[in-house]
Amino acid sequence: MRRDSRLSRMLHVLIHMDRHYKRATSETISKMLGTNAVVVRRTMAGLRDFGYVRSEQGHGGGWELARGLDQITLLDIYEAIGKPPLFAIGPSVDQPECLVEQAVDAKLGDALKEAEALLLERFRTVTIADIAADFDRRMPEGRCNIHGDIHAEQSASS
Amino acid sequence: MRRDSRLSRMLHVLIHMDRHYKRATSETISKMLGTNAVVVRRTMAGLRDFGYVRSEQGHGGGWELARGLDQITLLDIYEAIGKPPLFAIGPSVDQPECLVEQAVDAKLGDALKEAEALLLERFRTVTIADIAADFDRRMPEGRCNIHGDIHAEQSASS
DNA sequence: AAGACACGTAACCTATCTTGTTACAGATAG
DNA sequence: CTATCTGTAACAAGATAGGTTACGTGTCTT
């Protein structure tokens, strides 16, 4: 449990929701992702607050998409999960007294900021529909139903 | 203790070694960085193996630079500390069965690879001497000796 | 109205990673 | 021979993402 995988997971589930489910419960989704229903609710809560999905309580409730995948970018989801830190390296203290340390952190920070800007720009220009289209290119035979099988397996084994 | 700060710390100490110490013990350096002598040895071991610093054991021993700061890039140090992971986000599993998940991870991986390439390119083209020069521009009055004072304070308070 | 179903959320536990700490072995100068 | 260093192993501490349990609340069916 090290790298934050929430972005990857949310993209994954949104594509499945678009293709295989009109409405899915947290339990169903958790089986799909190989995780726990509470983790799903916790993470999806952000997407709901930003209007990308809707949740319905009670009998027959669950989660559904609130807009088309071509209307949601990776950046949208990144922000919806709370903009977790992107980098695993950084300075040791926030506001160092030492001026050498300040110069080091400034230079390092410049490089990191550039890389972050590039990454967020890519996130901004890629929609989830683009990823789904990539999937279609990988699987031209239309064997989409394989996913149901795979996820059913995971469900059965847990 | 989250973000890996070894790169920042090593850059910091190398500049000080170039400017204020011909040879420094792990103890001296640890005071400078606000950490522990064992941590210093552990981290500097990588730089020694790559030939950027030398260490001498025994009485009167310690660490010294093995080449000029203009001969060491940020990339060199990044590699010398073991190329720690740069990003704090990523996929949840390494080789997912689900083809949708594969497409998601591929797209996300592309963006991360681009950002990583940019970051490492910056690391490659910046020498530690460049950072030291930035420091000189920040402190044109030549009050370099302030650092000795600051680090002496830290030493005294610990 | 009762009960099943599903989300909402707090609280706590676990795994993992970086860093800190202790302890001790080996090398070197005086 | 002893003081002073580095080299390293082993373990503790602190932080964080994710997993788990428990319980509250809303909603549909009967």
Q: Is the separation of the CB atoms in B80 and A128 below 8 Å?
A: no
Residue nearest C15, CA–C1′ metric: A1
Q: Is the separation of the CB atoms in B121 and B61 below 8 Å?
A: no
Place of tokens 């589930």: A13
Going by pLDDT thresholds of 50, 70 and 90, the confidence category of residue B1 is low
pLDDT digits (tens, 9 = 90+) for B25-64: 999 999 999 999 999 999 999 999 999 999 999 999 999 9
Which residues in A lie closer than 8 A to residue B35 (C-beta atoms)?
A: 92
Task: Identify from B20, B98, B124, B139 which residue to disrupt to test chain A contact, counting A C-beta atoms within 10 A and taking the largest count.
Answer: B98
Going by pLDDT thresholds of 50, 70 and 90, the confidence category of residue B156 is very low
Task: Identify from B2, B7, B8, B36 which residue to disrupt to test chain A contact, counting A C-beta atoms within 10 A and taking the largest count.
Answer: B8
pLDDT digits (tens, 9 = 90+) for A2-47: 799 999 999 999 999 999 888 999 999 999 999 999 999 999 999 9
Place of tokens 């910091």: B12
Residue B137 confidence (pLDDT): 83
Helix axis angle, B128-138 relative to A99-125, nearest 10°?
A: 110
Measured CA to C1', the nucleotide nearest B30 is C20
Q: What token pair was written down for B145? A: 């000796």
Going by pLDDT thresholds of 50, 70 and 90, the confidence category of residue B96 is confident
pTM of the model: 0.87
